[in-house]
Amino acid sequence: MSTTVSPAPDNSGGVPVFRYSLASATGKVTPGGWGKQVTAAELPISQDIAGVLMRLEPGAVRELHWHAIAAEWGYVVEGQVRVTLFDPEQRISMEDVPAGDVFSFPRGYGHVIQNSGTVPATFILVFDNGHFSEFATFSSTDWLAHTPRNVLAETLGTPESSLAGLPAGEVYIVPGPVPPPLAETRPATAQLLAANSCAYRFSQQAPERYAGGTIAIASQLQFPLSSTITGAVMTIDPGAIREPHWHPNASEWFYVLAGTLQVTVFASQGHARTDQFAPGDVCYVPRGLGHYLENTGDAEVRLLLAFNSGTYEQIGLSGWLAANPRALVATNFGLPETTVDAFPGGTEYIAARR
């Protein structure tokens, strides 16, 4: 059954391109896995948020590293990863994160990601700076390769000769064995952060149900460590519409996990752009711009969304109009009050096909 969708507005100007096919990007490939990124360099409109699609083979390690200009938030799509965070108080948080759950690393904190399962792990990373580059991070192998051996020997209390096997440059992703169970891996002498400090069991959170779909939101309220990024998983039924809305406090970034949809962005002064999205595509909508999403296929749309704020805010058209006097709304739009009386009495959020 085909779905009738809205006609596309004029795309002649005013709204820059806001779609990028992340899944089809070339990226950086190693024997242990690969990473693909979308930043402001690939998608110029995306000034506030960058994203990475990454895959690790069983046991492979996204090496010890840190990010100087961005916090990191991750969602596991397939498989399982083990994440370890090291903070300025010399404490660690180490957790296994299965599919559907999330993790976070504050800006500048040391961390590492390893596939702790027996099948490949795929996950999406979001950074709260559009100019962040996954391929320009502070990697431990790169750092040590450019540090004199005598300095390393003095620091680590070992003869220089024992460091002869260090990599000559950045490794990025290191192949390795699948690690033992978490209880056997946590260092006995390490000072631990609170349980699950760097991970959140998002898959166990019940979504909110609307007439045309669902949404589960993980803001700083649910995941305290993630103070600059809110994540969400949304489903949109066939023919349903994530109603026209905007976000007052954050830009919106999403990755299409499943389904096909049409997105329209409005930028004032008659400027609007519509584009079509499929699995593997990324969308970015700047803070404050009006937009809506339509499921154009016969299957459920499933999206991973991220916002560059620890607090989630949205203003939807239906709730906004419902909160105003009917007579005022009728006057505003030049409509009969009888027509306005038929509008929803509250927020639709995701409206079902009628």
Residue that the structure tokens 């033992």 belong to: 180
The model's pTM: 0.94
62 has catalytic annotation: yes
Catalytic residue among 19, 55, 65, 242: 65
* Candidate from 101-115, 132-146, 194-208, 318-332 with smallest mean pLDDT: 194-208
Q: What is the DSSP string of 7-33?
A: PPPP-SSSS---EEESTT---EEETTE
How high is the mean pLDDT of the chain? 94
pLDDT tens readout for residues 73-119: 999 999 999 999 999 988 899 999 999 999 999 999 999 999 999 99
Q: Which of the residues 19, 55, 111, 242 is marked catalytic?
A: 111
- Model confidence band, residue 6 (pLDDT cutoffs 50, 70, 90): low
Q: What are phi and psi of 137, to 5 degrees?
A: -80, 170
CB 119 within 8 A of CB 79: yes
Q: Decide if 72 is catalytic.
A: yes
pLDDT digits (tens, 9 = 90+) for 151-192: 999 999 999 999 999 999 999 999 999 999 998 887 766 677
Is residue 37 within 8 A of residue 50, CB to CB? The reply is yes
Query: 26's torsion region: left (phi>0), alpha (psi -120 to 50) or beta?
Result: alpha
CATH superfamily for 19-200 is: Jelly Rolls (2.60.120.10)
Does the active-site annotation cover 170? no
Where, residue-wise, is CATH 2.60.120.10 in the chain?
19-200, 205-351
CA distance 53 to 39: 12
Query: Is 2.60.120.10 the CATH classification of the domain at 205-351?
Result: yes
Does residue 146 have an active-site annotation? Answer: no
Active-site residue 67, yes or no? yes
Catalytic residue among 67, 242, 245, 291: 67
Residue 307: the pLDDT is 98
| Cβ-based neighbour number of residue 256 at 10 Å | 23
Look at residues 15, 96, 3 and name the one whose alpha carbon lies nearest to residue 274: 15
